[in-house]
């Protein structure tokens, strides 16, 4: 693995990042085409159902004849199956690329080495594993869903300096600052779905949409086992696709779907249903009991915790993570700590 290989692959990963929030349930993919040490084409997967990174990179090359003496750097193994678009591996063969450098092999059973096989059978030199760790981390939502058959789970909460997420009457009224709240809206735009429990829905009446950022609204999810939440909550206004998991009924009303998980109402049953719906990532915003439930079940991948200078002295206790944070950032006067599970 040469320094130049790493340089071009890092550029491909930069390009792939532009697809965040727009390509799920597909992975984010970037592609760079190099001819005699010069980048002649770039592309990334922009929107789910639209052209893949390799297609966009090839289309950006002015002189298509140069492709026969060029190397393509791709962050993920080129697809080998017909989906919403034709196989990218076949396109690379058709255009006669000299070499293809791949960061990570696709663990999707539809692909799983088949794209590499197509390239090699056509006489194209293939190299894999260039910045593989970085590429898998970049697409950790995709790989989690493929390999664990569930969404990538992100826990998020804001707590006071003395460890509370709300007052005893469940009134929290902005523990974190304005900048922290705007960051949360950015996160919402990047994930497929967002979840709250019954108490958070009742006492905060959240909209769970993207207001302070540009991007799509995530699918809203609320847990209400016995269907006791009032129908006039923002979550039930029909403005955004919403799922209410419960133990009573299955019913679809416009943009609102009630899903009966049965009497056990388990975390794993809900995640299994979300997986079948191709929900690749889930942001859980509360309340404390729901967050702790996921922690105790050890079904989470990442936790993002804001701590403000505010104190409540008494209130609803914040969830507890029995590990040290991997990242600590200052957001104004708030402290953001990020934890990774496993």
Is 225 annotated as belonging to a binding site? Answer: yes
Is 47 annotated as belonging to a binding site? Answer: no
Is 276 annotated as belonging to a binding site? Answer: no
Q: b vs e for 184-200, b when ≥16 Cβ sit within 10 Å of the residue's Cβ?
A: beebbbbbbbbbbbbbb
Nearest to 77 by CA among 85, 62, 88, 61: 88
Is 79 annotated as belonging to a binding site? Answer: yes
Is 172 annotated as belonging to a binding site? Answer: yes
> Among the options 14, 17, 42, 54, which is catalytic?
54
Is 211 annotated as belonging to a binding site? Answer: yes
Instruction: Please give the helix or strand (H or E) that residue 183 lies within, else none.
Output: helix 178-190
Q: Is 95 helix (H, G, I), strand (E, B) or coil?
A: helix
Is 150 annotated as belonging to a binding site? Answer: no
Is 174 annotated as belonging to a binding site? Answer: yes
* Distance (Å, whole) CA 341 – CA 297: 12
Is 158 annotated as belonging to a binding site? Answer: yes
- Between the two ends of the chain, the Cα-to-Cα distance in Å is 28
77 is catalytic: no
Q: b vs e for 206-230, b when ≥16 Cβ sit within 10 Å of the residue's Cβ?
A: bebbbeeeebbbbbbbbbbeeeebe
Q: What is the largest CA-CA distance in the chain?
A: 71
Phi, psi of 269 (to 5 degrees): -65, -40
| Bind-site residues for substrate | 172, 188, 208, 211, 285
| Bind-site residues for NADP(+) | 158, 174, 200, 204, 225
- Residues with a known catalytic role: 54
| Bind-site residues | 52, 79, 88, 158, 172, 174, 188, 200, 204, 208, 211, 225, 285
| Bind-site residues for Zn(2+) | 52, 79, 88
């Amino acid at each position: 693995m040469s320094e130049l290989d790493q340089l071009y692959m890092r550029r491909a990963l930069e390009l792939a990042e532009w697809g965040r929030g727009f390509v799920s349930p597909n992975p984010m993919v970037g592609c760079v085409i190099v001819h005699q040490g010069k980048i002649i084409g770039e592309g990334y997967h922009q929107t789910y159902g639209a052209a893949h990174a390799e297609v966009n990179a090839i289309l950006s090359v002015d002189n298509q004849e140069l492709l026969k003496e060029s190397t393509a750097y791709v962050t993920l193994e080129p697809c080998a199956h017909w989906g919403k678009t034709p196989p990218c591996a076949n396109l690379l063969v058709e255009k006669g690329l000299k070499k293809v450098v791949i960061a990570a092999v696709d663990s999707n059973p539809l692909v799983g080495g088949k794209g590499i096989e197509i390239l090699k059978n056509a006489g194209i030199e293939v190299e894999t594993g260039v910045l593989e760790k970085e590429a898998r981390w970049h697409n950790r939502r995709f790989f989690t869903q493929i390999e664990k058959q569930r969404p990538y789970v992100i826990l998020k909460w804001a707590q006071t300096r003395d460890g509370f997420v709300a007052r005893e009457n469940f009134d929290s009224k902005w523990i974190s600052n304005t900048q922290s709240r705007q960051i949360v809206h950015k996160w919402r735009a990047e994930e497929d779905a967002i979840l709250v429990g019954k108490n958070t829905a009742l006492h905060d009446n959240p909209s769970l949409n993207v207001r302070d950022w540009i991007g799509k609204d995530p699918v809203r999810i609320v847990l209400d086992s016995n269907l006791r939440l009032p129908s006039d909550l923002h979550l039930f206004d029909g403005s955004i696709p919403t799922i209410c998991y419960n133990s009573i009924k299955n019913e679809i009303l416009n943009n609102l779907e009630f899903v009966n998980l049965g009497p056990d109402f388990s975390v794993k049953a809900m995640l299994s249903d979300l997986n079948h719906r191709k929900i690749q990532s889930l942001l859980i915003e509360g309340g404390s009991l729901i967050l702790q439930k996921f922690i105790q079940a050890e079904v989470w991948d990442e936790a993002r915790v804001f701590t403000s200078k505010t104190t409540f002295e008494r209130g609803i206790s914040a969830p507890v993570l029995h590990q040290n944070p991997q990242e600590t950032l200052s957001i104004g006067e708030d402290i953001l700590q990020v934890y990774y599970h496993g």
